């Protein structure tokens, strides 16, 4: 019987990686997990209303998928460069939250982000190799100007913010 000839999948590099999800190569017998995990219909029969679900595999994808780790790192770098100043941390965290959720954080929410940031900062000051490892995902160049521990700590907060239900779900 004839065999499919799209068996071998080669990942793109460089700019080609950063395209819209619309351009993802879709193989019906092995759909892309990032989409399939999030209830993307398999395209084999009509789905009038997509189901909306919550699974632990979704949680794992959002938290550990290389794509999202890179996104977190790039978001961290973005707020770092958009908000200047040495004591600008609250502003940076606030801006990160607003970019993700569309609203500014309340005081108590900012407090949660702040304490996560400070903990991570101290942790990565003591373990710069861990910081390097955390920031190694993805092809976008790491911004060498940013202090390593601050960069890693901001990335951790970005990972948090990008996993909030508010960020991930559209009401």
Partner 1 sequence: MDPVESYLRNLTRRQFFARSARGAGAAALGSLLAPAAMAGMDPGNQGLSALGLPHFAPKAKRVIFLHMCGAPSQLDLFDYKPNLQTEFDKDLPDSIRMGQRITTMTSGQKRLPVAPSIFKFRKYPNNQDGLWVSDLYPHTGSVAHELCVMYSLHTDAINHDPGITFFQTGNQQPGRPCMGSWISYGLGSANNSLPTFVVLISQGYGNMQALYSRLWGSGFLPSEHQGVQFRSAGDPVLFLKDSKGMRRQDRRRMLDAVATLNRKEFGRSKDAEILARISQYEMAYRMQMSVPELTDLNDEPEETFELYGPDAKKPGTFAANCLLARRLAERGVRFVQLYHRGWDAHGNLPREIREQCRMTDRPQAALIKDLRRRGLLDETLVIWGGEFGRTVYCQGALSKDNYGRDHHPKCFTMWMAGGGVKPGVTWGKTDDYGYNIVENPVSVNDLHATMLNQLGINHELLTYKFQGRRFRLTDVAGKVLTPLVT
d(C-alpha 43, C-alpha 58), whole Å: 20
Instruction: Dihedral sign for Cα 115, 121, 122, 127, please.
Output: positive
Q: How far is the CB of 149 from partner 1 (least distance, A)?
A: 12
Give the nearer residue to partner 1 in terms of CB position, either 23 or 45.
45
Contacts of 90 (CB under 8 A, 6+ apart): 110, 114
CA distances from 41 to 27, 33, 35, 50, 65 (A): 12, 12, 9, 7, 21
Report the site for partner 1 in 65-124 (rule: CB under 8 A). 65, 69, 106, 108-109, 112-113, 116, 119-120, 123
d(C-alpha 51, C-alpha 81), whole Å: 39
Report the site for partner 1 in 3-32 (rule: CB under 8 A). 4, 28-31
User: Rule CB under 8 A: is residue 160 a binding residue for partner 1?
Assistant: yes
When binding is defined by CB under 8 A, the residue of 6, 13, 51, 84 that contacts partner 1 is 51
Note the residues at the interface with partner 1 (CB under 8 A): 1, 4, 28-31, 33, 36, 39, 42, 44-45, 51-61, 63-65, 69, 106, 108-109, 112-113, 116, 119-120, 123, 129-137, 152, 156, 159-160, 163-166, 168-169, 171
């Amino acid at each position: 019987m004839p065999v499919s000839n799209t068996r071998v999948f080669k990942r793109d590099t460089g700019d080609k990686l950063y395209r819209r999800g619309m351009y993802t190569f879709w193989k019906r017998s092995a759909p892309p997990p990032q989409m399939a995990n999030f209830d993307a219909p398999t395209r084999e029969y009509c789905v009038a209303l997509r189901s909306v679900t919550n699974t632990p595999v979704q949680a794992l994808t959002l938290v550990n998928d290389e794509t999202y780790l890179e996104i977190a790192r790039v978001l961290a770098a973005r707020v770092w460069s958009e908000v200047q100043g040495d004591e600008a941390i609250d502003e940076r965290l606030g801006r990160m939250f607003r970019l993700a959720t569309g609203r500014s954080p309340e005081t108590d929410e900012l407090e949660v982000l702040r304490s996560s940031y400070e903990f991570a900062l101290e942790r990565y000051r003591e373990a710069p190799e861990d910081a390097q490892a955390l920031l190694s995902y993805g092809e976008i160049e790491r911004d060498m100007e940013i202090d390593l521990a601050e960069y890693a700590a901001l990335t951790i907060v970005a990972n948090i913010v990008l996993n909030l239900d508010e960020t991930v779900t559209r009401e």
